[in-house]
């Protein structure tokens, strides 16, 4: 009995010690899909966050303290995202940059709100994320209703009188994006010929590809992630179908091209103006390149989320999430992807989606800089 | 009509892959009366080994596609068969005379072990390969411009399935090993008394099942162009369903079940909605089991005395 108590004491003491050691630092977290089908994007977020923490610490930390980074994996699974969020909240971490999948960010945000954690998502574009009047959420990316508008405008302009199919993967992000695009298209008097859904994780799309072939579909808009989009493109080309695939920001990773091979040429997607090309990003892009990392997709968005938070903390003089959030919404922040201001909901005020096209070499370029 | 033909092709190819995996379930069930839940993961391992051997061959500069395919096929069959043998040896054989549920629980455990093993060894990311076999044939050009296409990959998948199926059917019905297997299936004790090496026969069953799963894994890699550590689960469930639908324990039943599941999924997606294809496949399974409790080609189990 006595020895048991002793062990208990020793364990308690060791816990106290480790928290005491950490009290020097402020631990912040990045959460996203580090494993599973979307892990390419989890890696982008991790790269961005690690570089940001390194740079912030090199510049003297935040309000005189060094930052430590906690990387959490939600595997793009809502249940796992929720438990990750509870873990972060119970560790009293004041700030999390995450998650990637909207279906993870949304349930997690409620746990963060209860646990007093400020959440800035670098990548979740579903409108619902900021529409629920939660005090603790903000995002540094655009929204699917804006993204849908840009996609719809492009389709209406270049595919007038042609047949368009809309597919979605039934996830919060995919279904939301497909619905927004459909709404925007229908509003301008454009009716799609086919509206279907599939399961995220499906591998066989041959049946749906044959259907598109029968209906002479010229363009298929996919509300879904890059793995399924890549497989759809590949199976379309296998069946001799030259239909163009268009999707959202989930296609902004080189892994898409490695799934499709050369068949991916001509595939379209909407995304913010390439953050790597912004003048504000030049120095930081160089730093990433020196480490052999291409800061594509949401890497720099994650970096920017960290910058917004750290600047707001410096201004508020505290890491208290509620005060920091007030500061974020009141101020204007210089980030790697340009100046940012937030509205009362936590969305950024300046957003401009543009259309990109994949080329034969496995890269993508902006095709209409005006975002027509 | 053209549209139907195209969907038929799609369904047969998908069904062939399911069928190849289903054979592993049905053979093991036939001989030891257990469901080998780790079989889906053996299929996944087969896919990974095919990928790794393919990458090695390409990196040493081999470019002749038929040679590459043949080597990849043999290597992945051999190594995956070794996995199948090992799994039986360490997880099932020690439990053979234990209570009925024990090997099944051990199989579920083995499935987790294999999934996590490949996640750790190969990483959690999807592993894509660029298209290896491209091109195809236009079978028929319809009046409304609908073109029925058969791609080379589809031809290879179906031909490989048919050839291997023929070989293994011959093996089971005509060879000494096949006779031993059928003997063990009927009565293990009696077979042992008559000089059949029961342990070895059961091991061989697992080896054959794993080798066919490896073929399915390689076909999957060729056809869809990617593998991941989690793919064994869904494919395993579908193939298991196929085995039950065809009548578990029956070799032609497994193939028939695989083809049917593939066709039902594809045709349902083609004429109704993609969304409910799994519902359709499983509903038909339920209906079949209500009227034919032993599946389409299964024999009613005779209580052993």
- pLDDT, tens only, B131-188: 888 788 888 777 667 888 888 999 999 999 999 888 988 988 899 999 999 899 888 8
Our CA-based measurement puts residue A143 at a distance from the nearest CA of chain B, in whole angstroms, of 26
**CB < 8 Å to B154, chain A:** 238
Of the candidates B153, B234, B274, which has its C-beta nearest A201's C-beta? B234
Through-space distance between the first and last CA atoms of chain A, rounded to whole angstroms: 75
- Residue B203 near residue B85 (C-beta atoms within 8 A): yes
Cα distance between residue B55 and residue B132, in whole Å: 11
Q: What letter does residue B273 receive in the DSSP assignment?
A: -
State both tokens at B296.
Answer: 């389409």
Q: Tell me the CATH number at A123.
A: 3.40.50.2300
Are A290 and A308 members of one domain? yes
Are A127 and A151 members of one domain? no
**CB < 8 Å to B145, chain A:** 216
Are A108 and A168 members of one domain? no
Is residue A88 one of the residues assigned to a domain?
Answer: yes
Are A330 and A302 members of one domain? yes
Q: Is B190 left (phi over 0), alpha (psi -120 to 50) or beta?
A: alpha
Interface contact A215, partner B, CB < 8 A: no
Indicate the SS3 state at residue A317: coil
Is residue A10 one of the residues assigned to a domain?
Answer: no
pLDDT of residue A64: 86
Which residue stretches of chain B have pLDDT < 70? Answer: 143-144, 300-305
Asked if omega into A99 is within 30° of 0 (cis), the reply is yes
Angle at CA A33, nearest 5°, toward A208 and B48? 65
pLDDT of residue A69: 93
> Residue B6 and residue A213: Cβ atoms within 8 Å?
yes
Of the candidates A170, A227, A239, which has its C-beta nearest B149's C-beta? A239
Cα distance between residue A329 and residue A331, in whole Å: 6
Give the pairing of strands A164-168 and A194-197: parallel
Are A153 and A286 members of one domain? no
Task: Give the residue carrying structure tokens 């201001």.
Answer: A341
> Residue A206 and residue B265: Cβ atoms within 8 Å?
no
Q: Which residues contact A267 (CB under 8 A, 6 or more apart)?
A: A229, A233, A244, A245, A246, A247, A251, A256, A260, A357, A358
pLDDT of residue A20: 42
> Which one, of B121, B116, B108, B87, lies nearest residue B230 by Cα?
B116
Q: Read off the pLDDT of residues A321-330 as tens digits, 9 standing for 90 and up.
A: 999 999 999 9
Which residue stretches of chain A have pLDDT < 50? Answer: 1, 16-22, 371-372
**CB < 8 Å to B13, chain A:** 206
Please classify residue A91 by burial: count the beta carbons closer than 10 Å to its beta carbon, then call 0-12 exposed, 13-18 middle and 19+ buried. middle
> Residue A206 and residue B266: Cβ atoms within 8 Å?
yes
Chain B contacts to A (CB-CB under 8 A): 3, 6-7, 10-11, 13-14, 119, 124-126, 128, 130-131, 136, 138, 145-147, 149, 151, 153-154, 220, 224-226, 228, 230-231, 234, 265-267, 269-270, 273-275, 277-278
**CB < 8 Å to A204, chain B:** 10, 14, 224, 265-266
Q: How many domains does chain A have?
A: 2
Size of interface A-B (CB pairs under 8 A): 98
Are A289 and A312 members of one domain? yes
Cα distance between residue B83 and residue B184, in whole Å: 22
> Residue B274 and residue A196: Cβ atoms within 8 Å?
yes
pLDDT of residue B10: 93
Cα distance between residue A107 and residue A111, in whole Å: 7
Indicate the SS3 state at residue B223: helix
Is residue A171 one of the residues assigned to a domain?
Answer: yes
CB atoms within 10 A of CB A92: 11
Task: Give the residue carrying structure tokens 């039950």.
Answer: B244
> Residue B125 and residue A39: Cβ atoms within 8 Å?
yes
Is residue A297 one of the residues assigned to a domain?
Answer: yes
Domain carrying residue A156: 145-271+353-368
> Residue A208 and residue B274: Cβ atoms within 8 Å?
yes
pLDDT of residue A338: 85
Our CA-based measurement puts residue B223 at a distance from the nearest CA of chain A, in whole angstroms, of 9
pLDDT of residue A372: 42
Phi, psi of A34 (to 5 degrees): -80, -20
Strands (E), B214-287: 226-227
Is residue A125 one of the residues assigned to a domain?
Answer: yes
Side-chain half-sphere exposure of A153, counting CA atoms within 13 A: 14
Are A206 and A113 members of one domain? no
Sheet order of strands, A66-73 included: A66-73, A25-32, A95-98, A118-121, A137-139
Are A32 and A97 members of one domain? yes
Cα distance between residue A268 and residue A261, in whole Å: 15
Interface contact A76, partner B, CB < 8 A: no
In 3-state terms chain B splits into helix, strand, coil percentages (rounded to 5) of: 75, 5, 20
> Distances from the Cα of B121 to the Cαs of A5, A201, A209, B226, in angstroms?
41, 22, 34, 17
- Residue B73 near residue B215 (C-beta atoms within 8 A): yes
> Residue B136 and residue A230: Cβ atoms within 8 Å?
no
State both tokens at B117.
Answer: 């093993």
Indicate the SS3 state at residue A271: strand
> Residue B10 and residue A206: Cβ atoms within 8 Å?
yes
Of the candidates B125, B265, B270, which has its C-beta nearest A40's C-beta? B125
State both tokens at A357.
Answer: 């096209």
Of the candidates A34, A75, A207, which has its C-beta nearest B274's C-beta? A207
- Residue B154 near residue B223 (C-beta atoms within 8 A): yes
Are A239 and A360 members of one domain? yes
Element (H, E) at A167: strand A164-168
> Residue B231 and residue A214: Cβ atoms within 8 Å?
no
Are A359 and A224 members of one domain? yes
Are A282 and A326 members of one domain? yes
Our CA-based measurement puts residue A213 at a distance from the nearest CA of chain B, in whole angstroms, of 7
Our CA-based measurement puts residue A258 at a distance from the nearest CA of chain B, in whole angstroms, of 6
Is residue A298 one of the residues assigned to a domain?
Answer: yes
Of the candidates A40, A234, A255, which has its C-beta nearest B225's C-beta? A234
Side-chain half-sphere exposure of B37, counting CA atoms within 13 A: 15
Are A213 and A337 members of one domain? no
Q: Which residues contact A371 (CB under 8 A, 6 or more apart)?
A: A150, A153, A352, A353, A354, A355
ipTM score for this prediction: 0.88
Indicate the SS3 state at residue B244: helix
């Amino acid at each position: 009995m006595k020895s048991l108590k002793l062990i208990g004491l020793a364990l308690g003491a060791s816990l106290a010690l480790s928290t005491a050691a950490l009290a020097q630092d402020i631990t912040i977290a990045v959460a996203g899909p580090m494993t599973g089908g979307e892990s390419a994007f989890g890696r982008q977020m991790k790269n961005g966050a690690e570089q940001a923490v390194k740079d912030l610490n090199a510049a003297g930390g935040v309000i005189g303290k060094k930052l430590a980074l906690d990387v959490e994996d939600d595997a793009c699974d809502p249940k796992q995202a929720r438990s990750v969020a509870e873990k972060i909240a119970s560790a009293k971490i004041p700030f999390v940059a995450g998650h990637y999948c909207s279906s993870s960010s949304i349930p997690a945000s409620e746990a963060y709100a209860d646990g007093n954690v400020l959440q800035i998502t670098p990548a979740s574009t579903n409108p619902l994320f900021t529409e629920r009047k939660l005090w603790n959420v903000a995002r540094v990316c655009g929204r699917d209703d804006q993204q849908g508008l840009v996609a719809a405008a492009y389709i209406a302009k270049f595919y007038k009188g042609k047949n368009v199919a809309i597919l979605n993967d039934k996830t919060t992000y995919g279904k939301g994006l497909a619905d927004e695009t459909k709404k925007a298209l229908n509003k301008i008097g454009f009716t799609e010929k086919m509206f279907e859904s599939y399961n995220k994780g499906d591998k066989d799309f041959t049946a749906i590809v044959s259907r598109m072939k029968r209906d002479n579909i010229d363009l298929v808009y996919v509300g879904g992630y890059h793995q399924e989009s890549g497989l759809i493109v590949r199976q379309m080309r296998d069946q001799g179908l030259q239909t163009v695939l268009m999707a959202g920001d989930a296609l902004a990773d080189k892994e898409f091209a490695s799934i499709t091979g050369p068949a991916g040429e001509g595939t379209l997607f909407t995304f913010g103006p390439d953050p790597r090309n912004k003048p504000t990003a030049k120095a930081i892009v160089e730093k990433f390149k020196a480490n052999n990392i291409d800061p594509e997709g949401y890497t720099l968005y994650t970096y920017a989320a960290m910058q917004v938070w750290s600047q707001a903390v410096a201004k508020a003089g505290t890491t208290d999430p509620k005060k920091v959030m007030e500061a974020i919404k009141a101020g204007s922040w210089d980030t790697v992807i340009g100046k940012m201001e937030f509205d009362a909901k936590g969305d950024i005020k300046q957003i401009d989606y543009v259309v990109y096209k994949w080329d034969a070499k496995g890269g993508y370029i902006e095709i209409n800089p005006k975002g027509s | 009509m053209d549209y139907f033909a195209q969907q038929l092709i799609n369904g047969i190819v998908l069904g062939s892959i399911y069928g190849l995996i289903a054979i592993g379930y049905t053979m093991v069930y036939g001989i030891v009366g257990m469901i080998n839940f780790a079989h889906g993961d053996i299929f996944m391992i087969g896919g990974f080994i095919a990928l790794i051997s393919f990458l090695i061959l390409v990196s040493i500069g081999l470019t002749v596609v038929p040679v590459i395919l043949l080597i990849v096929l043999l290597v992945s069959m051999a190594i995956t068969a070794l996995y199948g043998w090992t799994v039986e040896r360490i997880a099932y054989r020690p439990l053979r005379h234990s209570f009925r549920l024990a090997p099944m629980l051990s199989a579920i455990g083995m499935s987790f072990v294999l999934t996590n093993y490949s996640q750790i060894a190969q990483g959690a990311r999807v592993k894509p390969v660029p298209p290896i076999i491209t091109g195809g044939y236009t079978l028929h050009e319809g009046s409304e411009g609908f073109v029925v296409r058969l791609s080379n990959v589809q031809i290879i998948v179906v031909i490989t399935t048919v050839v291997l199926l023929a070989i293994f059917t011959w093996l089971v019905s005509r060879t000494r090993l096949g006779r031993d297997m059928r003997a063990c299936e009927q009565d293990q004790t009696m077979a042992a008394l008559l000089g059949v090496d029961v342990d070895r026969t059961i091991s061989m069953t697992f080896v054959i099942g794993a080798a066919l799963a490896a073929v399915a894994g390689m076909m999957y890699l060729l056809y869809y162009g990617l593998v991941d550590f989690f793919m064994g689960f869904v494919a395993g469930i579908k193939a298991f369903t196929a085995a039950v639908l065809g009548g578990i324990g029956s070799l032609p039943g497994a193939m028939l079940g695989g083809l049917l599941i593939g066709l039902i999924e594809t045709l349902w997606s083609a004429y109704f909605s993609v969304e409910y294809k799994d519902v359709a496949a499983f509903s038909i399974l339920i209906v079949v089991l209500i009227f034919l409790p032993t599946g389409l080609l299964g024999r009613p189990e005779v209580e052993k005395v």
